[in-house]
Chain A
Amino acid sequence: MSDPVTALDGAVSDAGIATITEVPLQGMITLRGDLSTTAVKNAATGVAAVDMPGQGEANCVENRGICWMSPDEMLVLCPYETVAANIELMQKTLSDAHALAVNVSDARASFRVGGGRAREVIAKLCPVDLSPDAFKPGMFRRTRMAQVPAAFWMRDEDSFQIICFRSQAQYVFDLLTVAAQPGSEVNL
């Protein structure tokens, strides 16, 4: 067994108007089920140690959290090394409830976009209202980033975390770098 690696080996771009950093390995579990049932809720919260988020929201603390993906899907975040144990724990909590918990940690790449102009950079690529009144920490959005699917949430006032498919990591990193090119401030 060798050490697992991320898609871009921690690539960083900080020459432009925002800093783009590939995030280290992050445990991610797709949980599909009836989100109104106690078993499914407990399966998610038991692993992430945060409350269930509402529709279009994410509750994240450090590298744990729950993101609302769809009316029957959550993305549960936990430390990378604990995924297998956590899926087992979730199965136990779910017992015989009809649900699906599956490891997708390696299927994704994740980036952090930071700096005062992070909102502008994302708004160049995603058809999302990113004004401070409309998109706030705690919200979660599945959308597209230029030509590929992506999802993001705000870690704090000045930084976003983006997840995309691993195979598209280079494309998304390059996109963000282009969107943050020097001199491209929107100045809203």
Chain B
Amino acid sequence: MSTRLVKGGRLLNRQKAMNFTFNGKQLRGCEGDTLASALLANDQMLVGRSFKYHRPRGVVASGAEEPNGLVNLGAEGKFEPNQRVTTTELFEGLSAQSQNHWPSLEFDVGAINSRLSRFLPAGFYYKMFIHPRPLWKHVYEPIIRHSAGLGRAPKARDVDTYEHYHFFCDVMVIGGGVAGLQAAKAAAQTGAKVLLVEQSAHWGGRAPVDGGSIDGAPVENFVEQTVAELQSMPNVTMRNRLMGAGVYDHGYVLGYEQLRDHCPEKPGPRQRLWRIRASHIVTATGAIERPLSFAGNDIPGVLLASAVRDYVVNYGVSAGDRTVVVTNNDDAYLTAFSLKDAGLSVPVIIDARVQAVDSPVMEQAKALGIRVMMGHAIASVKGSKRVTGVAICSQAGAGAVLEEIACDAVAMSGGWSPVVHLWSHCGGKLVWDVAQAHFRPDVDKAPTGADGQPFVTAAGAANGSLLLGDALGDGDQAGKLAASAAGYKVKQTACPVAESLEDAPMSPVWLMPQGAGIELRSKAWLDYQNDVKVSDVQLAAQEGFESVEHAKRYTTLGMATDQGKLSNINGLATLAGSLNTTIPQVGTTTFRPPYTPISMGAIAGEARGEVFQPLRRTPMHDWHDANGAHWEPVGHWRRPYCYQRAGESVNDAVMRETKNARENLGLLDASTLGKLIVKGPDAGKFLDMLYTNMMSTLKPGKCRYGLMCSENGFLIDDGVVARIDEDTFLCHTTTGGAERIHGHMEEWLQTEWWDWQVYVANVTEQYAQVAVVGPNARKALEKLGGMDVSKEALGFMEWADGELGGFKVRVYRISFSGELSYEIAVDAGQGQAFWDALMVVDHDLGVMPYGTEALHILRAEKGFIMIGDETDGTVIPQDLGLHWAISKKKEDFLGKRAQERSHMADPERWKLVGLETLSGSVLPDGAYALGDGENANGQKNMIGRVTSSYYSPNLEKGIAMGLVLHGPDRMGEVIEFPGTNGATYKARIVDPVFYDKEGEKGNV
């Protein structure tokens, strides 16, 4: 059984006990525990079930590479699935649930899949479930969904908060082990600004567990001193619990900082996503130990040798009382020594190698009285939910059992793989290191920046320097190189020297025993999380999935949440063996960020709740809100769709507002419309190019409606232009066009007509603008008083500056409704006060605000087009019968040439007409009209579509506009529009101007 030892545990505070629950069971751990060490201390080795076969799974590692120990953590608003027990720091009150089991972790019905594993081979989805097709949706998928899958999706809203942080430095060092510490120090000594990050809560990496000495003192002293030294340097920033998640172009790094995961009771954001720009990056990300592939290597109690050592030294926890060590290298011997030190039993070290001479650690093992079996292997592990023993065989053979040894834990080591992920994210290449049997960074093929120079340097174990002394020197060199690359002068400083024992070379072992038959191979796991075995990869190779990327997807090797941190290299080696090729020829799959999963909350940062998205408010926004506004989003703006009164439906309100504007007096908040000042000696010439009609002839004091097209001829915006003085124009744009048209103007001025003397300024938000609309509009302004707004003084399409009710105003006599109408601009800071003044101007005038829907109905009654309704990016002004607004005199304007092309001049283009249903009902917006016959694809031919459709309360019938084939030539004809509700609407083609065609209403 696994248990807490009486002594040891360098990271523990044994004085402080912490209570937590696992599957509802009350358990105790200590401050400093991870959830994994605390579970092991309570003999909870079994932590989950595997994805496919529901095999019992125990903790196998002690860090970020853990594939098995995934739990649902917390509840309600703090619930999060797939949390690794090995990297979850214990806190008081933690509650965890194991995943992927039913009905319980101990007894799981799905485990029957394991018995059926013969029938669930690699690629079984593709093989089994492709035919018959309908069964996939109704039978296979529901069953697989029930039996597969890991954690549950959260249901409650996340109660935590998150944020981003932008940080800039010369050198960023990722990884706070010995190499990272030394690299940071070497870089910092040059004066460079250094950021050193470490994903765990502790500095020093593996070194304090693995031991060794630096400059004659224990390695812990070096770690302590260097940390203290770095902390005292003003140019160094150190952060632990901050993982380097991804390296991107131009030295951009994403860092994932876990602020409150270990102390959720404290206020403040739970996590912080660091967005870092570094001139140079050092990846000192260490190495990960590989499992060995032998039958039963997934039975709970089989752990990585380094993990067994970590649990003893760091947490005072034994994985078992009797631990068999199995290895192909010297490093695993340290685990045997740690166990012995702790007073635990190591019945045997099974070493697959055959060595002529004992290395120092072998001698030491023998001196400690540990039995060492060279050239041997594990034939199989005994036990089901827990290891009970191992059967031993020769590594060279096929697995004939020589003896069985009882034990309750197995510590395995298949060698070490550098963590090359961050090196690889941005294109760093790898080389195969034959001596150490791993991929390590190829220094000649580093990720390069805009200048073609490397911007990432790997250091320490991450660079293949596995021994303490090598790692330290490598870190020192990497730090200096990074600082130099960032432009700092490197002084030659001495690097501390570490003493390490002479290691015997490791020997690659990809299958144990090497001649294992199918019985054993189909129980030798490569990927614990996705249930991929040696036999699966071999089958994939046999079936022709020879590319590593294909084999990965066919078998799902390395596709789980751990992204194959333990399984990749063993899988590649197995594939290479099956294909009779070498590992470097097979190559690796692609390493993509993030290194380990990061939360969606951290990615979103502050963008949630009130600040999920910017919401633009006009100066009168709060008034609208307080007066029943039913909001409509228009870009980031919110505009009142209508103002609902008590007991009124939205439709009632729209009808009331639409009628009132024609009969009395309506007020519209038009502040969102774009207002661009265009000024300069060439302003007229510039606007002549931008608008289809002539603007340079406009007289100061006058207004003109204009159309704007893209250079492809399509209508992109419209609005009224007012000439302020000889050099200055004010161009109104649509609400959505303000920023876009401003950009459009700047682009032409900056890239094509850079020598024209024109400046543009966007003054949209400087003004609150109110449309005062209806037969009583003039009376209202006269009541306010201050300037002459008579027909004579201020004619249609004129503007004037003046005062109204004491407000400094600019009044435009323009109309988008066909009524007598004034649009009045005041400084935004007085917008609300001006609106208030209008609302109380005179009760008898029938003043009433109206929203965007009434605005739409009023303009549709008059046959005025709306950008975005009548246009969709494929419509030209000629389609809309706007020939009158297209200058024939001008030599050029944007879109002119395009509009002369044959397709644009084609008489077959659909043209704007009015539409009226025979029944007076409302046509469905967007409906298409059917013609005769079918097109080449067997679809019915279409001859038109509805672009705007409303019920007009003033005309008391449905009115619509649409684009129809030969429309203007077919006045009076009836065409049919099938609706989506089965009904077909018959509509007559009519003039698009439904109301006051002569324009008498506005001309008063």
**Which A residues, 141 to 188, have Cβ-Cβ distances below 8 Å to chain B?**
146-148, 165-171, 174-175, 178-179, 181-186, 188
| A100:B761 contact, CB within 8 angstroms | yes
| A106:B761 contact, CB within 8 angstroms | no
B616 CB contacts on chain A under 8 angstroms: 165, 167-168, 171
Pick the contact of A171: B267, B272, B275, B615 (CB < 8 A): B615
Stretch of A1-9, A42-50, A110-118 on the interface side: A1-9
For residue A129, CB closer than 8 A to chain B, the reply is: yes
For residue A131, CB closer than 8 A to chain B, the reply is: yes
Q: Closest approach, in angstroms, between the C-beta of B567 and any C-beta of chain A? A: 37
Pick the contact of A102: B272, B607, B677 (CB < 8 A): B677
Which label, helix, strand, loop or mixed, suits the secondary structure of the B interface? Answer: mixed
For residue B618, CB closer than 8 A to chain A, the reply is: yes
A166, A182, A186 — most chain B CB neighbours (10 Å) = A166
**Which A residues, 62 to 110, have Cβ-Cβ distances below 8 Å to chain B?**
72, 98-100, 102-108
- Chain A residue nearest to B682 (CB atoms) is A98
For residue A12, CB closer than 8 A to chain B, the reply is: no
Q: Closest approach, in angstroms, between the C-beta of B165 and any C-beta of chain A? A: 5
B761 CB contacts on chain A under 8 angstroms: 30, 32, 100, 102, 104
| A124:B166 contact, CB within 8 angstroms | yes
A146 CB contacts on chain B under 8 angstroms: 605-607, 611, 614
Given A123-B165, A174-B610, also A106-B827 (CB < 8 A): yes
For residue B685, CB closer than 8 A to chain A, the reply is: no
B613 CB contacts on chain A under 8 angstroms: 147
B806 CB contacts on chain A under 8 angstroms: 1-2
For residue B578, CB closer than 8 A to chain A, the reply is: no
Counting residue pairs across A and B whose Cβ atoms lie within 8 Å, the total is 138
Stretch of B216-224, B527-535, B764-772 on the interface side: B764-772
Given A123-B165, A175-B611, A178-B606, also A167-B833 (CB < 8 A): no
A134 CB contacts on chain B under 8 angstroms: 168
**Which A residues, 1 to 44, have Cβ-Cβ distances below 8 Å to chain B?**
1-2, 4-7, 25, 30, 32-33
B764 CB contacts on chain A under 8 angstroms: 107
| B763:A102 contact, CB within 8 angstroms | yes
| Alpha-carbon distance between A178 and B161 when the two chains are bound, in angstroms | 9
- Chain B residue nearest to A99 (CB atoms) is B759
| B163:A106 contact, CB within 8 angstroms | no
B79 CB contacts on chain A under 8 angstroms: none
Given A1-B830, A171-B611, also A165-B765 (CB < 8 A): yes
**Which A residues, 119 to 145, have Cβ-Cβ distances below 8 Å to chain B?**
120, 123-131, 133-134
For residue B269, CB closer than 8 A to chain A, the reply is: yes
- Number of A interface residues at 8 Å Cβ cutoff, please give it: 54
Q: Closest approach, in angstroms, between the C-beta of A21 and any C-beta of chain B? A: 18
Pick the contact of B766: A33, A103, A124 (CB < 8 A): A103
Pick the contact of A129: B168, B614, B830 (CB < 8 A): B168
| Alpha-carbon distance between A1 and B775 when the two chains are bound, in angstroms | 26
| Alpha-carbon distance between A108 and B828 when the two chains are bound, in angstroms | 9
| Alpha-carbon distance between A134 and B789 when the two chains are bound, in angstroms | 56
| Alpha-carbon distance between A16 and B919 when the two chains are bound, in angstroms | 63
| A32:B759 contact, CB within 8 angstroms | yes
Given A25-B829, A124-B164, also A178-B611 (CB < 8 A): yes
Contact with A along B126-170 (1 / 0, CB 8 A): 000000000000000000000000000000000001011111100
| Alpha-carbon distance between A72 and B757 when the two chains are bound, in angstroms | 12
| B606:A175 contact, CB within 8 angstroms | yes
Contact with A along B789-819 (1 / 0, CB 8 A): 0000000000000000011100000000000
| Alpha-carbon distance between A181 and B637 when the two chains are bound, in angstroms | 27
For residue B237, CB closer than 8 A to chain A, the reply is: yes
Q: Closest approach, in angstroms, between the C-beta of B502 and any C-beta of chain A? A: 44
Pick the contact of A183: B193, B266, B760, B833 (CB < 8 A): B266
Given A98-B757, A181-B161, also A166-B619 (CB < 8 A): yes
B766 CB contacts on chain A under 8 angstroms: 102-107
For residue B240, CB closer than 8 A to chain A, the reply is: no
B605 CB contacts on chain A under 8 angstroms: 146
A169 CB contacts on chain B under 8 angstroms: 617
For residue B280, CB closer than 8 A to chain A, the reply is: no
A125 CB contacts on chain B under 8 angstroms: 164, 606
| B163:A179 contact, CB within 8 angstroms | yes
A171 CB contacts on chain B under 8 angstroms: 611, 614-616
B618 CB contacts on chain A under 8 angstroms: 167
Q: Closest approach, in angstroms, between the C-beta of A125 and any C-beta of chain B? A: 7
- Chain B residue nearest to A122 (CB atoms) is B166
Q: Closest approach, in angstroms, between the C-beta of A181 and any C-beta of chain B? A: 7
| B829:A106 contact, CB within 8 angstroms | yes
Contact with A along B830-867 (1 / 0, CB 8 A): 10110000000000000000000000000000000000
B606 CB contacts on chain A under 8 angstroms: 124-125, 146, 175, 178-179
| A127:B166 contact, CB within 8 angstroms | yes
| Alpha-carbon distance between A80 and B132 when the two chains are bound, in angstroms | 76
Pick the contact of B163: A4, A7, A108, A124 (CB < 8 A): A124
| Alpha-carbon distance between A128 and B165 when the two chains are bound, in angstroms | 10
For residue B633, CB closer than 8 A to chain A, the reply is: no
For residue B360, CB closer than 8 A to chain A, the reply is: no
| B828:A106 contact, CB within 8 angstroms | yes
Contact with A along B590-627 (1 / 0, CB 8 A): 00000000000000011100110111111100000000
**Which B residues, 361 to 412, have Cβ-Cβ distances below 8 Å to chain A?**
none
| B765:A2 contact, CB within 8 angstroms | no
| Alpha-carbon distance between A25 and B830 when the two chains are bound, in angstroms | 12
Q: Closest approach, in angstroms, between the C-beta of B945 and any C-beta of chain A? A: 34
**Can you list 9 A-B pairs with a CB-CB distance of less than 8 A?**
A5-B832, A32-B761, A123-B167, A124-B606, A147-B607, A167-B637, A171-B614, A178-B611, A185-B268
Lowest 4 A-B CB distances belong to which pairs? A183-B268, A4-B829, A183-B267, A167-B616
A sample of 14 more A-B contacts (CB under 8 A), given A2-B806, A30-B761, A182-B267, is A4-B827, A5-B829, A32-B761, A98-B681, A100-B759, A100-B761, A103-B766, A106-B767, A107-B764, A129-B166, A148-B614, A174-B611, A178-B611, A181-B267
